[in-house]
Amino acid sequence: MSVIIGLEIHLQVTSSKTKLFCSCSADYRNSPPNRNVCPICLGLPGVLPKPNRYVIEKAVQLALALGSKISDRLVFMRKHYFYPDLPKGYQISQYTMGRYSAVAYGGSLEIFVKGRRKIVRIRRINIEEDPAKIIYPEKDPWKSPYTLIDYNRSGIPLLEIATEPDLSDAEEAVSFVEKLLELADHLNITDPSLEGSFRIDANISIEGGERVEVKNIGSLKDLEKAINYEIIRQKRILETGGKVVRETRHWDDIRGVTVSARHKEFEEEYKYMPEPDIPPLEIDHSYIEKIRSLMPELPWVMRERFIKQYGLTDYEAGVLVSRKWLAKYFEDIARIYNKPDKIADLLINDFLGKINERGGRFDLVRARPEQIAELLDLLDKKVISIKILKEILDKIVFDGEDPKKIISEKGLTVISEDEYLEELAEKVIRENPKAVEDVKKNPKAINYLVGQVMKLTRGRADPEKINVIIRRKLGLLR
């Protein structure tokens, strides 16, 4: 029984300063509730929506990057449904049922899963507005005594990307969304680390059966869980002689199950009609060519370049390019410090872990590229060990403290590690004459002295190395 999956991904254009049809601030995450609102995004009667040019430009960029065919004219439509997050009673969207007047049709994105390349075809790209945010104080709607609505999110610009049903399991679906988010990040459309910046509807069917649309998936983890849950549910129905019905289900991320959305408001009877307040927009050739000429380097091109220019492995280049910020940071460091493999190693194995502990938030990084370069330089010169580097990395990365300053504050004077250990060994020998005598009688007694030096370094040094230094100083080695 083979599985067929098609995705509809909603990306917030988080780089847009304003909403889709009004000039309200789009920064809804950092504003008190219901502050960024006006008659347009509150859906009051008699107002005129004005489409945001920047968002159209971003949609065209995404279409160009995916190789989609851009429509000659954009038509906005009213999509009707009744729900409290939608004050107008309709959402301004584009016609998504046919092949008419959305931003673009066709195109593809390549993914790499289980050692194989796979082309995933794009069906359509369209623009629409985000509804308001509904907040259940108890998280579970049925347990909440009341519901709150924040209209700051009403009218936030979204790009919707629908794929053809080319995916065949959760791993491929996750890989596709990761790839799309990477592209959206490089095009400065969506910052994937922002909470709620993307949502996914997954259409899942088992060959020959009806498809089920699972709505409201908010993370890659939930996407994986929802698809696997739905596959098992459908297989069970088939195995017990039942039939899967075509329906919309909701992903309940608290309980980890999909639930049938029986309510009228989720049925696909949207009664589309052209939005009479927004005339169709002509997209001419020269406009498209102008946008094409301003396109940034695409992530897959950048990845190849990183491999060639910096001699990185495919894996290293892939990780560094996975976020635009990280790729730029890497290149900024590489301009000052010319061992790209060491930079890649530090960023991938130590630095990224720290960022991921903080939810992937690169905006928290305070360390300038020069400071990372300096840190690597101190490591090269053996002023610090890799162990010390790992200890102080946090302070350097998130407090922007100077590597040299921390090292001296922590009593790790800026001298070579060898010199430092020599000094400590001398001090221990000087202060423990009795133990030194013991070593001369019984070589094993040296462990006490090594232990004392280790203690002074707070366990940071290599005991083998200290052992050699002490033996040399006691004339037991030449």
Residues that bind Zn ion (CB under 5 A): 22, 24, 38, 40-41
Query: By CB under 6 A, is residue 96 in contact with ligand ADP?
Result: yes
How many other C-beta atoms can be found within 10 angstroms of the C-beta atom of residue 51?
18
Of 124 and 323, nearer to ligand ADP (C-beta) is: 124
Please state the closest distance from residue 272 (CB atom) to ligand ADP, in A. 11
Question: 141: how many CB neighbours lie within 10 A of its CB?
Answer: 10
Q: How many other C-beta atoms lie within 10 A of the C-beta of residue 465?
A: 15
Tell me which of Zn ion, ligand ADP, none is bound by residue 203, counting a contact when its beta carbon lies within the kind-specific cut-off of 5 to 8 angstroms: ligand ADP
Please answer whether residues 197 and 47 qualify as being in contact, where contact means their C-beta atoms are separated by less than 8 angstroms.
no
Among left, alpha and beta (phi > 0; psi -120 to 50; other), residue 281 is beta
Query: In angstroms, what is the minimal distance from the CB of 173 to ligand ADP?
Result: 11
Tokens 């400065």 locate to: 188
**Stretch touching ligand ADP by CB under 6 A, among 156-164, 277-285, 290-298, 332-340:** 156-164
Task: Give the closest residue to 93 by CA, choosing from 28, 49, 145.
Answer: 49
HEC letters along 167-181: ECCHHHHHHHHHHHH
For residue 130, state whether it binds ligand ADP (rule: CB under 6 A).
Answer: no
Give which of ligand ADP, Zn ion, none residue 205 binds (C-beta under 5 to 8 Å, depending on kind).
Answer: ligand ADP
Contact indicator for 150, 133 with CB cutoff of 8 Å? yes
Q: Is 4 in the site for ligand ADP (CB under 6 A)?
A: yes
By CB under 6 A, residue 211 contacts ligand ADP: yes
Evaluate whether 235 touches 3 at the Cβ level (below 8 Å).
no
Q: Which is nearer to ligand ADP, 39 or 208 (CB)?
A: 208
**From ligand ADP, Zn ion, none, which one binds at residue 131 (CB under 5 to 8 Å depending on kind)?**
none
- Least Cα distance to 68 among 180, 205, 156 occurs for 180
Given the DSSP bridges, would you call strands 116-129 and 104-105 parallel, antiparallel or unpaired?
antiparallel
Q: Of these, 203, 234, 248, 371, which contacts ligand ADP (CB under 6 A)?
A: 203
Interface with ligand ADP in residues 157-176 (CB under 6 A):
162-165
Interface with ligand ADP, residue 107, by CB under 6 A: no
Residue 253 binding ligand ADP, by CB under 6 A: no
> Where does this chain bind ligand ADP (CB under 6 A)?
4-8, 96-97, 123, 162-165, 203-205, 211
